[in-house]
Amino acid sequence: MSFSRQQALKDSSAREARRYFDAEGPVSSYFGENVFDLPKMKQYMSEAAYAAVEAAVKEGRHLDRSVADEIADGIRKWAMEKGATHYTHLFQPLTDSTAEKHEAFVDFRDNVAVERFGGSALVQQEPDASSFPNGGLRNTFEARGYSAWDPTSPVFVLDGTLCVPSVFVAYTGEALDMKTPNLKSVQAISDAATAVASLFDENVHSVSVSIGLEQEYFLVDEALWAARPDLVQCGRTVIGHTAAKDQQLSDHYFGAIPQRVSAFMKDFETEAYRLGIRLHTRHNEVAPNQFECAPIFSSATTAIDQNMLLMIVMQKVSARHHLKVIFHEKPFQGVNGSGKHCNWSLCTDGGTNLLSPGKTPSRNLRFLSFFACVLKGVSDHNFLLMSSVASLSNSYRLGGSEAPPAVMSVFSGSTLHGIIEDIMAMEDFSRQETHRETLSIVGAMPEIILDNTDRNRTSPFAFTGNRFEFRAVGSSQNAAGAVYVLNTIVAEALREFRGMADRLMAEGEEKESAIVHTIRKFLLDARNVMFEGNGYSKEWQEEAARRGLKSIGDVTEAFAAFRSEDTVELFEKTGVLTRSELEARYAVMNETYVKKLQIEARVIGDLCLNHIIPAAIKYQQLLGASLDGMWKLFGDESPSLCRAEISTLRKISQGINDLSDHVAELVAARRKANRETDTPTRARLYCHEIRPLMDRVRFDADNLEMLVDDELWPLPKYRELLFLQ
């Protein structure tokens, strides 16, 4: 057996389940100990400085530079007590990961070492960071990048470094990150939702977005991972025959958690609790070696920042367990991929969930207003919502018969859907009549829809009783991309809702009646996205096409939604992104797609030419030598004696030729595509020409895997990668 595969199998089978990050006492005794939250701040700074931070944290007020020095000094003292020696602004560039550049607290004045952390270092840094994708926003000579503290997200200590959650913007103020538009979208939806909520309750002053992110992931032993160049370089296997047994028996799903995995989970949970992340669930997922964890929901910025942090923590902790966490959406062909289900709802400053139906008809009316606005937003900007989750890695998962399909429909559940149907079905001859009829339907709504919403796992966007679950978000993505789009499209629908209700009232309609008519109009407008059936079925794909809903079959096409006039108008009106920022994002999406696919195509070429074909040739030679020997011994009799060898030899030789021809074609196609200078066109070429060729190469390679002597096969196989004990 190839040395690296053999060694990896040996190493991986010798591992033990062990805890490395144990904590004493119950979780409540150490929860949040590494986060500098408001109660801790109180102890480390003067009342005036504390008041300034509190206003910044709670009301998003601008932090005055005059108190920044004192705040920074308080933070430094606390961080040093926690063992921190360095600080960094932690930001979220357009790469789906986080970025950090550490600077030491220690400063040298007149050769004397002193620890310092000034207000300006806290508030703003200029990390240069010119190599991050910027879509052309930083092409001028003075286009520096700045990171700036987002005080709504608390600072924390990780691995001896004080981390300051930050936005990342260009010199011109344009956003170069995922956090900036997310913060702006939260403001936009708060304003719009407050205006609608105050139709029902004058005491609503602001509305926040609640997010609960379920994180799916795979685990692979570190040694086996290292023996697979594709996992190392692409985060997924680009070749590999399926194992005889994988998820058919559903014996992994919700099963007993393997010992090693359980130790790893407990360790990363402990670290996450120290960082104030409210983890709550853990379980085995459908595919072998696939798992999930989820925290209790929190505000949009906190939930997203903490999810990014959780991914870092999981990676760090996994190293101690000799495990690799794989966040790629589709690391293994033939078994389920991973998502990051995004649970989304709206909550008033008084703590009311606006997507909770409540008990009384008037509350139901408020619920239906918000519900109708979400549907309207999804319908009006259906393709944009899809493009918010469009990426190369997610495209391997979306549309398969396992994950949310590529069409963005909304599932309401039979009870609620029945109510919606009734409202929509009413004749609109007399407004007064319609109003009365609707109110009787609304009044008859069951008290708690939560218990009446059936689960439909095939819907990408499902109402689950008191929130929506956006299931198409990919496991490796920064959820901010999906969330700021969702916030923005719903913000616009809410603005329109209030606008229409106001207009009807100005025309003399009673408030309730105006609201009812607006709900009905919005529901009718959103009819095309309502779908209660099986989202995986062929009939639905056909039906969706008839309704004019686009499918995400081709993600490069979906990118275009970011530069459509509709989108530009939407984002500029809501103040979330400008035309040039959208253009930049469109450019980055295309660029990233091409680069990632280029890497995959190179890796698959390398694996075939330098690993698989040589192994197949060795086997070919063995068979040839055996036939030679048989010929010498048995002469004319040997062909009938060696039927199996001859047939295998033929198949192997044919397999090697096919694979080598197809790799050559792939290389030629890549060269041709690389000559295309327009990136979006190159992305389409990669999508339509390179990907099918990669599929063919994979088919040939997997075919050889089934022919070549197992002893000679150079790479760990699926059955070896996928079953941790």
| Residues of the shown chain interacting with ligand ADP in the complex, contacts defined by CB under 6 A | 210-212, 214, 281, 294-297, 343-345, 353, 466-467
Tell the smallest beta-carbon distance from residue 465 to ligand ADP (Å).
9
Tell the smallest beta-carbon distance from residue 292 to Mg ion (Å).
6
Tell the smallest beta-carbon distance from residue 285 to Mg ion (Å).
9
- Of the pair 66, 281, the CB lying nearest ligand ADP is at 281
Tell the smallest beta-carbon distance from residue 353 to ligand ADP (Å).
5
Q: Measured on CA atoms in the order 635, 637, 641, 643, is the torsion positive or negative?
A: positive
- Of the pair 230, 469, the CB lying nearest Mg ion is at 469
- Of the pair 469, 720, the CB lying nearest ligand ADP is at 469
CB count within 10 Å of CB 289 equals 24
Which of the listed partners (Mg ion, ligand ADP, none) does 240 bind, with a CB threshold of 5 to 8 Å by partner kind?
Answer: none
- Of the pair 214, 380, the CB lying nearest Mg ion is at 214
Q: Which two tokens stand for residue 73?
A: 């000094």
CA gap 49, 57 in Å, rounded: 12
The residues, ordered by sequence, that sit 6+ positions from 326 with a Cβ below 8 Å of its Cβ are 217, 218, 219, 220, 231, 235, 236, 338
- Rule CB under 5 A: which of 241-280 touch Mg ion? none
Exposure on the CB side of residue 222, measured as CA atoms within 13 A: 14
Nearest to 360 by CA among 433, 446, 474, 274: 446
Contacts of the segment 703-706: beta carbons below 8 A, 24+ positions apart: 703/655, 703/658, 704/612, 704/616, 704/652, 704/655, 704/656, 704/659, 705/239, 705/240, 705/241, 705/612, 706/241
- Of the pair 286, 408, the CB lying nearest Mg ion is at 286
Tell the smallest beta-carbon distance from residue 367 to ligand ADP (Å).
13
Tell the smallest beta-carbon distance from residue 343 to ligand ADP (Å).
3
Which of the listed partners (Mg ion, ligand ADP, none) does 580 bind, with a CB threshold of 5 to 8 Å by partner kind?
Answer: none
- Of the pair 450, 667, the CB lying nearest ligand ADP is at 450
- With b for 16 or more beta-carbon neighbours within 10 A and e for fewer, the 522-551 pattern comes to bbebbebbbbbeebbeeebbeebeebebbb
The residues, ordered by sequence, that sit 6+ positions from 529 with a Cβ below 8 Å of its Cβ are 375, 378, 379, 382, 408, 409, 410, 549
- Of the pair 168, 367, the CB lying nearest ligand ADP is at 367
DSSP 8-state symbol, 578:
-
> Of these, 96, 214, 230, 700, which contacts Mg ion (CB under 5 A)?
214
Which of the listed partners (Mg ion, ligand ADP, none) does 666 bind, with a CB threshold of 5 to 8 Å by partner kind?
Answer: none
- Of the pair 214, 402, the CB lying nearest Mg ion is at 214
Q: Binding of Mg ion at residue 70 (CB under 5 A)?
A: no
Residues 274, 23 contacting (CB under 8 angstroms) = yes
Q: Measured on CA atoms in the order 229, 396, 387, 483, is the torsion positive or negative?
A: negative
The residues, ordered by sequence, that sit 6+ positions from 100 with a Cβ below 8 Å of its Cβ are 88, 89, 90, 91, 161, 163
Q: Measured on CA atoms in the order 187, 188, 193, 195, is the torsion positive or negative?
A: positive
- Of the pair 212, 377, the CB lying nearest ligand ADP is at 212
Tell the smallest beta-carbon distance from residue 214 to Mg ion (Å).
4
Tell the smallest beta-carbon distance from residue 273 to ligand ADP (Å).
15
Tell the smallest beta-carbon distance from residue 523 to ligand ADP (Å).
22
Tell me which stretch binds Mg ion (CB under 5 A): 109-117, 137-145, 185-193, 207-215.
207-215
Q: Which two tokens stand for residue 649?
A: 């030899």
Which of the listed partners (ligand ADP, Mg ion, none) does 154 bind, with a CB threshold of 5 to 8 Å by partner kind?
Answer: none
Which of the listed partners (Mg ion, ligand ADP, none) does 277 bind, with a CB threshold of 5 to 8 Å by partner kind?
Answer: none
Which of the listed partners (Mg ion, ligand ADP, none) does 463 bind, with a CB threshold of 5 to 8 Å by partner kind?
Answer: none
Counting every residue written for the chain, the total comes to 725
- Of the pair 48, 296, the CB lying nearest ligand ADP is at 296
- Of the pair 146, 463, the CB lying nearest Mg ion is at 463
* Closest residue to Mg ion: CB criterion: 214
Which of the listed partners (Mg ion, ligand ADP, none) does 466 bind, with a CB threshold of 5 to 8 Å by partner kind?
Answer: ligand ADP
Residue with tokens 């052309």, as numbered in its chain: 136
Tell the smallest beta-carbon distance from residue 498 to ligand ADP (Å).
23
Farthest-apart Cα atoms in the chain, separation: 105
Tell the smallest beta-carbon distance from residue 282 to Mg ion (Å).
10
H/E segment holding residue 665: helix 643-675
The contact mask relative to Mg ion for 73-102 (x = CB under 5 A, - = no) is ------------------------------
| Bridge partners of residue 290, in order along the sequence | 218
Nearest to 295 by CA among 273, 309, 278, 283: 278
Q: Measured on CA atoms in the order 33, 36, 40, 44, is the torsion positive or negative?
A: positive
E-state strands within 493-541: none
What's CA 543's distance to the chain center, in Å?
A: 28
Nearest to 188 by CA among 170, 209, 203, 169: 209
Tell the smallest beta-carbon distance from residue 153 to ligand ADP (Å).
18
- With b for 16 or more beta-carbon neighbours within 10 A and e for fewer, the 124-160 pattern comes to ebebebeebbbbebbeeeebbbbbbbbbbbbbbbbee
- Of the pair 214, 329, the CB lying nearest Mg ion is at 214
Tell the smallest beta-carbon distance from residue 201 to ligand ADP (Å).
18
* Closest residue to ligand ADP: CB criterion: 212
Residues 319, 162 contacting (CB under 8 angstroms) = no
Which of the listed partners (ligand ADP, Mg ion, none) does 668 bind, with a CB threshold of 5 to 8 Å by partner kind?
Answer: none
Which of the listed partners (Mg ion, ligand ADP, none) does 212 bind, with a CB threshold of 5 to 8 Å by partner kind?
Answer: ligand ADP
- Of the pair 464, 592, the CB lying nearest ligand ADP is at 464
Which of the listed partners (Mg ion, ligand ADP, none) does 235 bind, with a CB threshold of 5 to 8 Å by partner kind?
Answer: none
Tell the smallest beta-carbon distance from residue 646 to ligand ADP (Å).
54
Which of the listed partners (ligand ADP, Mg ion, none) does 430 bind, with a CB threshold of 5 to 8 Å by partner kind?
Answer: none
Tell me which stretch binds Mg ion (CB under 5 A): 81-89, 206-214, 437-445, 522-530.
206-214
- Of the pair 1, 296, the CB lying nearest Mg ion is at 296
CB count within 10 Å of CB 204 equals 19
- Of the pair 254, 634, the CB lying nearest Mg ion is at 254
Which of the listed partners (Mg ion, ligand ADP, none) does 297 bind, with a CB threshold of 5 to 8 Å by partner kind?
Answer: ligand ADP
Tell the smallest beta-carbon distance from residue 469 to ligand ADP (Å).
6
Q: What are the residues binding Mg ion (CB under 5 A)? A: 214
